Structure 1
Amino acid sequence: MANLSPSILLGKGTGDWADAYVKAAELVAQLTLEEKNNLTYGIATTENGCSGNIPAIPRVGFTGMCLQDAGQGVRFTDFVNSYPSGIHVGARATLKREINSWNKTLAHDRAWHMGGEFRKKGVQVALGPVVGPLGRVVTGGRNWEGPSNDPYLGGVMGAESVRGLQDQGVISSVKHFIANEQELYRNPTLDAENRTVQSISSNIDDKTMHELYLWPFQDALKAGAANIMCSYNRINNSYASQNSKTLNGILKTELGFEGFVVTDWDAQHAGVAAANAGLDMAMPDGQTFWGNNFTEAFKNGSVSEARLDDMATRIIASWYKLGQDESSYPKPGVGMPYNLSEPHDIVNALTADARPVLFEGAVEGHVLVKNVNKSLPLRSPKLLSVFGYDAKAPDAYMPNGQNILGNAWAIGFEPAISHFSDLSFAAAVIDAPYYSQVAFNGTLSVGGGSGASAGPYLSAPLDALQQRAYEDGTVLMWDTSDVPGATGLMEASDACLVFINAFATEASDRAGAYDDYSDGLINQVATTCANTIVVIHNAGTRLVDQFADHPNVTAIIFAHLPGQDSGRALVSLLYGDENFSGKLPYSVAKNESDYENFFHVGATTPYGLFPQDDFDEGVLTDYRYFDAKNITLRYEFGFGLSYTSFEFSGLEVSSVEDGIAAYPSGAIEQGGAIDLWDIVATVNATVQNTGDRTGAEVAQIYIGIPNGPVKQLRGFDKVKIPAGKSVQVSFPLTRRDLSSWDVVAQKWQLQSGSYDVFVGSSSRNLPLRSTLSIVADER
């Protein structure tokens, strides 16, 4: 698509943006060319520790903007909480389309409390939530920041996060737009001959773009997101920050985006081209391409002043829409000290009412995937033993996504061989790169990079277990050395807990989906201990086949990244004070080879200085791919056990009126055509708790759209059910839920035909099946 004329892309102030646009237009009309220009790029400052700053314009009452990381809490400051990560939010799956009386949506609550902390710290733009990457690359370094590998789950959780943040008056920056699926080649680099190697190009077709990667962004826009952040990668060989098809064409025209577009940090690669393609703000510093050069571009006509007015209006309108012009909104960066190590004024953003959300959020993101002979919950064990590097609190520093070297970016990490010189079962991997994905210095509560956060404390598993041992009169012993040698302790224990992790960080993809050292550690303990329980704090998909079938491995928990309440939450689950209800937001295969090409594209690219990644699989990622290839999984998408059991029955599928229009015809407001969200069918089912204790089940509905994947998630509902009782769940299906993207008409299409309907507890446990017939009018 050629660059669209900026004159037809002006934000229109439709829907609930109308008042903000009127105010913004009045303010922008008072600005000089230089003042409007200064709104479009960040400035360096030592006045605060914000990731990015837009200067104030005092004469018109604009107070400026502080932009700050991240999606798991306010980064690089004190007196804030470290919340469960994106992947933990996806695993807990507490979705309701509306907030109902039985359980408020934890995704919304988490974001609301987090937004309150951003606000108190003087942050106008919170750089989150993450809904891309979408987990296409199984070892992607940033997969943990987003909620799921599935666009539907990611979209709903992302939308709730947007609402929660913006209900506090904080602009949410939804990222990373778009098709940013690996960290390798994310930025231009120099090769051995000092030549520039460009960022990876995600080569993606129009149908895949809409049905997969754009889906969660569209949900976030519908929820009111006021900012979109561009990704680092190229898209079909055009950088995301200057790609007119994605910014002007899809985002601002097709989806009617009224807010402003910002670069990821240092992701701008052009001046005039970026402005005309739809970029509105460059961060953290726009002097290289904009600044004085930008002023000249407006004067000589390279960029129209109408485009500059639009950029400024979008920024100011977002500021007005979130009420940041009000005197009650804190001064930008007021709680973000430039240097935490020096004396500074404390702005305490901690509140007591956030504590239940932090705890419940941590609890519900744990996923129990194996529990042989009801090994869990623990029942007042006399002797409990703990093994593994992930059990204890970090040896130094608060947790902030650090690996063993305390390097928050974990680039080029190579541990000394002597550190494992006596580790016989790890000898084969001493020289392997797997150590870059293991945090040996203590329990992993959050991943690394700009998504990391540090809370006021950390409840490590070993600390929480010691407290419980004190309360119960249990003898708790531990050996967290590299080579645990307490064989007698293993034999005598009622249960042996082995803690491992899988570290991931921005700027570096994981070396693989498992590591031999950790798997060897588990097998060493299990060889002697008849009741070995494995806990994995994993920043992404983690394979378990080297120990999952060991007869002495009786339970496995994917604990994900729970934030500061990690240990407390885990212990409440281990002892049955709380019941497991989390579900996997990704599929776990048996072998890395089962993923075929879903690893990052390395230096084997045939294009030398222009790395290419062809998304040839289309929409067939994660469970769609495994379904299409009929691959047997270890644990499927949506899977998770409970201490009770459930049965499904009573499937009811409503009909769709014959002659329904095949294409939406409604007006475009932010989020797209407004009738895409019309409910066109409803599916009901009954879930019964057949066990002996109260528990929560996540009922899931999948739809097989004609000519599409076998099935796709199109709804889920988490219901808490007392033992022996039943609850009816209802899944309203929108036009968008049942549509596929028509590349010719460039619209979502309801096809005539039979749609398969599946309801159950995971993507491969769907006992209720029916069909939905649609006769569409394609005129």
Structure 2
Amino acid sequence: MKTSTALALLAASGPVTASVVRPAAEQLAKRALATSDPYYPSPWMDPAADGWEDAYAKAKAFVSQLTLLEKVNLTTGVGWAAEQCVGQTGAIPRLGLRSMCMQDSPLGIRGTDYNSVFPSGQTAAATFDRTLLFKRGNAMGQEAKGKGVTVLLGPVAGPLGRMPEAGRNWEGFSPDPVLTGIGISETIKGVQQAGVVACAKHFIGNEQEHFRQTGEAQGYGYDIKETLSSNIDDKTMHELYLWPFQDAVRAGVGSFMCSYQQVNNSYSCQNSKLLNDLLKNELGFQGFVMSDWQAQHTGAASAVAGLDMTMPGDTEFNTGISFWGTNLTLGVLNGTVPAWRIDDMAMRIMAAFFKVGQTVNQDPINFSFWTSDTYGPIHWAANKDVQQINFHVDVQGGHGSLIREIAAKGTVLLKNSGSLPLKKPKFIAVIGDDAGPNPLGPNACSDRGCDNGTAGIGWGSGTANYPYLVTPDAAIQAQAVKDGSRYESILTNYANSQTRALVSQDNVTAIVFVNADSGEGYINVDGNEGDRKNLTLWKNGDDLIKNVSSFCANTIVVIHSPGPVLLTEWYDSPNVTAILWAGFPGQESGNSITDVLYGKVNPSGRSPFSWGATRDSFGTDVLYEPNNGNDAPQQDFSEGVFIDYRHFDKANSALTYEFGYGLSYTTFQYSNLKVRKSNAGAYQPTTGTTAPAPTFGNFSTNLNDYVFPSNEFPYVYEYIYPYLNTSDAKAASADPNYGQSADQFLPPHATDGSAQPLLRSAGKSEPGGNRQLFNVLYTVTADIKNTGSVVGDEVPQLYVALGGPDDPKVVLRDFDRLRIDPGKTAQFRATLTRRDLSNWDTTVQDWVISSYPKTVYVGRSSRKLDLTATLS
């Protein structure tokens, strides 16, 4: 396994389409640069870090009392299915600390009951509403807290959304780093205010499902020995993929999850450039880094590279073997892992724990992820200690109304020729499988791994069990009954003759529900191995729309999908009078779309991604076949920062609908743009050094003190312990190479605990980087007038042209959501920080404002920029 772990520069060479095959020599030359050099030592916590002072003090008081075995117990998961949660650490019973519970997902509590299913992150991002993003996070945090969860495994900024086909894009927010940065930071604030540690994931470059794990790929018949390598250059890393994670650190997130795949041919969970340099040094992250489940590949090497917690603890599920546990205990005892590093791991975990208001006397975990039965074994894998494990605690807390609001306000009206809003229509015909229920129930498919009935969420670990699912058919029918409308529905895409007979009648308004789906790679739905095979609608959806609209002059289309689909064949038909994208709306799906269709909610969602006319027009695509023999598939991010609207603008390509686009039932006028410059002063790079690494007491080096205490409690099968099974160190390690010194296999300085120089781009006790990056340089205002006849929300967006030849045409930098009464005017106010106007300089390794002229735009989408001004 690789132990050298830093990120080298990789020259970007412009956009690439799915059909481009680069010359072999050029590819090989590029990949020679796709390597990672070491960055050591791993930075230790800063007791003066902004927002972490009190948490640090409490963590120090707690960790100072711990034995080495107890510290190892905090850092090592107890094994797959060893206890109740999807992942748990060892407990510290001597001090009253129960096992910490790590539980999915980024839109609800996975695998439990009496919890809510929230709209996807992508749908929430479409609201362009900071307040709703916070409320969603806070409600999820409340539900997690009510179940006894310590760490909620979300929110997501990886995948960012490099490829529209990528399976888990819907778990995140948007391919735009600013929208994702705001989405992830507001969610984190909400979750952690509820008393639960948030986990920013998956760090970083985790942009597709194919080849993310060797075992998973081999199960699909791909002969690879190592996971995919995402090859990302330094400039692209900072200006695109790292940007939202920087916002997560500034928001005070308690934990990060490193991802499965490699970055520049070094595994993310032992990549010291990513974890030590970018995350903990440059960004000043003070919390802990946990591995994705089975994403750890080494023991001591991952420890010194910056990993703080391994999940679920075993090297492979249910083996009872761990890279850490016993081996981490031995690593500290023999000096391979320095004492300050295990202390720092424990400090980071406990500081995150205390930062969100947790106390040692936590509420108990009241569910089991492994079964819905009330009684069962507390140690599920070992089938041991049967007791009550599910208490069926209802944590929904009336969140259905918030879910309904978010889903409605995140619905994007793409087209409307006057058919909406509906006003007691005479005859409603609802068509399509996506309008109705799964015949076997909303939770019939494990982790939602099917596409039966309406698509409320995608599939995989990012899901939760529905407490109920309101289908569009049920909700629209209820409204039709209330209005006295005639109502009929055909809940299949394949009843062509019956559908034609129904929609050909007079006075009919036909609403066609269609979808596409995607999810995590361990589930294959109709040949879609997590990632979508294409960008078309599923289940013959395009033909269904064309069939209905050929007979009905008033056809309204509603799309549930994890991102863009191709609309080219039918979107401009005059008989298609309205199109709405409703994303993945969660449990209130039918109610939320009914609210929009009937005008109870004036649509104000904005598309969080672009809609291209063809698949190739997006310029990026999933790597579906291995391209490096049976070695690690190589995915070159050679388009640099030019993804989504940035790519379409650079290519000057036509779009079906652009990023940030969305219609309303009223109209707005933009005017009176003003730009005011602040007196922020000149940028000062950070200088100085850290304090030396702190340690918290000595420990015994007598191996007899670490042997499993069989006289105190029984051994649980496959459970991961910090103890040794013998006082013979080599035998206890089960490592034939045990006894090598650290110098023989660890990079230089990996165990160095002396004071270290601060990076110029880092902050001094300021998580998120140099504080001056976030000084406001300009304040931008504009007047927005509602020129229509109904109240509505408008989403003015601030874009900047950075002016350089290698810069995107425009980049989003701020936005707001304003509720404006008819005839009234509201002021849009936005700010531009130093980071907003900077580029990453790969030579000086810092953010620098270039000398190129800079222009600001205020408008209603990335291509409808009503107002413009040049910055002085």
Normalising by structure 2, report the TM-score: 0.81
Partner of 1:136: 162
Aligned residue type for 2:350: I
In 2, Cα distance between the equivalents of 1:39 and 1:748? 37
SS in 2 for 1:729: strand
SS in 1 for 2:587: helix
In 2, Cα distance between the equivalents of 1:710 and 1:565? 38
The one-character-per-residue Cα deviations of 1:405-432 (angstroms, maximum 9, x if unpaired) are x35475xxxxxxxxxxxxxxxxxxxxxx
Asked whether the equivalents of residues 491 and 530 of structure 1 are also in contact (C-alpha less than 8 Å), the reply is no
Per-residue deviation, 1:236: 0.4
Aligned residue type for 2:125: G
Is 1:628 matched up with 2:646? no
Per-residue deviation, 1:34: 1.6
Q: Which piece of structure 1 moves more, 507-516 or 570-579?
A: 507-516
Segments ≥4 residues shifted beyond 6 Å: none
Is 1:282 matched up with 2:381? no
Is 1:347 matched up with 2:361? no
Partner of 2:406: 361
Normalising by structure 1, report the TM-score: 0.90
User: Cα gap change, 1:604/1:188 in structure 2, threshold over 3 Å: closer, same or farther?
Assistant: closer
SS in 2 for 1:669: coil
Task: Return the match for 1:20 from 43, 48, 55.
Answer: 55
Partner of 2:715: none
Task: Return the match for 1:529 from 552, 557, 570.
Answer: 552
Aligned residue type for 2:363: P
Is 1:334 matched up with 2:366? yes
SS in 2 for 1:211: helix
Per-residue deviation, 1:281: 0.5
Asked whether the equivalents of residues 203 and 615 of structure 1 are also in contact (C-alpha less than 8 Å), the reply is yes
Asked whether the equivalents of residues 388 and 500 of structure 1 are also in contact (C-alpha less than 8 Å), the reply is yes
In 2, Cα distance between the equivalents of 1:730 and 1:561? 30
Is 1:698 matched up with 2:769? no
The one-character-per-residue Cα deviations of 1:313-355 (angstroms, maximum 9, x if unpaired) are 111111121221164x412x22446420445422121213x23
In 2, Cα distance between the equivalents of 1:716 and 1:239? 36
Per-residue deviation, 1:194: 9.3
Partner of 2:197: 171
In 1, Cα distance between the equivalents of 2:42 and 2:547? 67
Is 1:491 matched up with 2:504? yes
Partner of 1:652: 674
Question: Counterparts in 2 of 1:633-712, with a 5 A limit?
Answer: 633-655=655-677, 660-661=682-683, 667-707=764-804, 708-712=807-811
Partner of 1:726: 825
Task: Return the match for 2:641 from 592, 602, 619.
Answer: 619
Gaps (5+ residues) in structure 2?
1-5, 7-36, 315-320, 376-389, 522-529, 687-759
Asked whether the equivalents of residues 260 and 267 of structure 2 are also in contact (C-alpha less than 8 Å), the reply is yes
Partner of 1:65: 100
Per-residue deviation, 1:479: 1.5
In 2, Cα distance between the equivalents of 1:289 and 1:94? 43
Asked whether the equivalents of residues 159 and 206 of structure 2 are also in contact (C-alpha less than 8 Å), the reply is yes
Partner of 2:239: 211
Per-residue deviation, 1:46: 6.2
The one-character-per-residue Cα deviations of 1:47-104 (angstroms, maximum 9, x if unpaired) are 8531111122121232220000001111111111111111111111113xxxxxxxxx
The one-character-per-residue Cα deviations of 1:484-521 (angstroms, maximum 9, x if unpaired) are 32323212242111111111111111011114711011
Task: Return the match for 1:317 from 348, 351, 357.
Answer: 351
Is 1:123 matched up with 2:149? yes
Partner of 1:393: 437
Per-residue deviation, 1:440: 4.4
User: Cα gap change, 1:5/1:132 in structure 2, threshold over 3 Å: closer, same or farther?
Assistant: closer
Task: Return the match for 1:381 from 388, 408, 425.
Answer: 425
SS in 2 for 1:667: coil
Partner of 2:378: none
Per-residue deviation, 1:20: 1.6
SS in 2 for 1:197: coil
User: Cα gap change, 1:239/1:46 in structure 2, threshold over 3 Å: closer, same or farther?
Assistant: closer
Is 1:42 matched up with 2:77? yes
In 1, Cα distance between the equivalents of 2:293 and 2:465? 21
Task: Return the match for 2:569 from 546, 553, 565.
Answer: 546
Partner of 1:222: 250
Is 1:302 matched up with 2:336? yes
Is 1:501 matched up with 2:515? yes
User: Cα gap change, 1:512/1:407 in structure 2, threshold over 3 Å: closer, same or farther?
Assistant: farther
The one-character-per-residue Cα deviations of 1:97-120 (angstroms, maximum 9, x if unpaired) are xxxxxxxx0110111111111001
Partner of 2:699: none
Q: Which piece of structure 1 moves more, 160-169 or 483-492?
A: 483-492
Question: Counterparts in 2 of 1:158-197, with a 5 A limit?
Answer: 158-189=184-215, 196-197=224-225
Partner of 1:434: none
Task: Return the match for 1:232 from 239, 244, 260.
Answer: 260
Partner of 1:747: 846
Q: Which piece of structure 1 moves more, 196-205 or 113-122?
A: 196-205
How many aligned positions are there?
Answer: 726
Asked whether the equivalents of residues 366 and 392 of structure 2 are also in contact (C-alpha less than 8 Å), the reply is no
Partner of 1:420: none
CA RMSD in angstroms, aligned pairs only: 1.9
Is 1:762 matched up with 2:797? no
Compare CA radii of gyration and give the structure with the larger one.
2
SS in 2 for 1:452: coil
SS in 1 for 2:496: coil
Is 1:113 matched up with 2:103? no
Is 1:560 matched up with 2:583? yes
In 2, Cα distance between the equivalents of 1:118 and 1:242? 29
In 2, Cα distance between the equivalents of 1:691 and 1:379? 18
The one-character-per-residue Cα deviations of 1:728-760 (angstroms, maximum 9, x if unpaired) are 111111111111111111111123342111110
Aligned residue type for 1:365: G
SS in 2 for 1:39: helix
Partner of 1:248: 276
Asked whether the equivalents of residues 687 and 726 of structure 1 are also in contact (C-alpha less than 8 Å), the reply is yes
Asked whether the equivalents of residues 275 and 307 of structure 2 are also in contact (C-alpha less than 8 Å), the reply is yes
User: Cα gap change, 1:485/1:740 in structure 2, threshold over 3 Å: closer, same or farther?
Assistant: same
In 2, Cα distance between the equivalents of 1:520 and 1:242? 48
In 2, Cα distance between the equivalents of 1:202 and 1:281? 23
Asked whether the equivalents of residues 25 and 313 of structure 1 are also in contact (C-alpha less than 8 Å), the reply is yes
SS in 1 for 2:501: helix
% identical equivalent positions: 43
Asked whether the equivalents of residues 203 and 614 of structure 1 are also in contact (C-alpha less than 8 Å), the reply is yes
User: Cα gap change, 1:112/1:174 in structure 2, threshold over 3 Å: closer, same or farther?
Assistant: same
Aligned residue type for 1:714: R
In 2, Cα distance between the equivalents of 1:409 and 1:473? 35
Per-residue deviation, 1:360: 0.8
Per-residue deviation, 1:16: 1.8
Asked whether the equivalents of residues 197 and 253 of structure 2 are also in contact (C-alpha less than 8 Å), the reply is yes
In 1, Cα distance between the equivalents of 2:838 and 2:221? 49
Per-residue deviation, 1:32: 1.7
Asked whether the equivalents of residues 534 and 557 of structure 1 are also in contact (C-alpha less than 8 Å), the reply is yes
User: Cα gap change, 1:79/1:13 in structure 2, threshold over 3 Å: closer, same or farther?
Assistant: farther
The one-character-per-residue Cα deviations of 1:180-199 (angstroms, maximum 9, x if unpaired) are 11100011147599964311
Partner of 2:44: 9
Per-residue deviation, 1:661: 3.1
SS in 2 for 1:521: helix
Partner of 2:623: 601
Asked whether the equivalents of residues 611 and 658 of structure 2 are also in contact (C-alpha less than 8 Å), the reply is yes
Asked whether the equivalents of residues 256 and 669 of structure 1 are also in contact (C-alpha less than 8 Å), the reply is yes
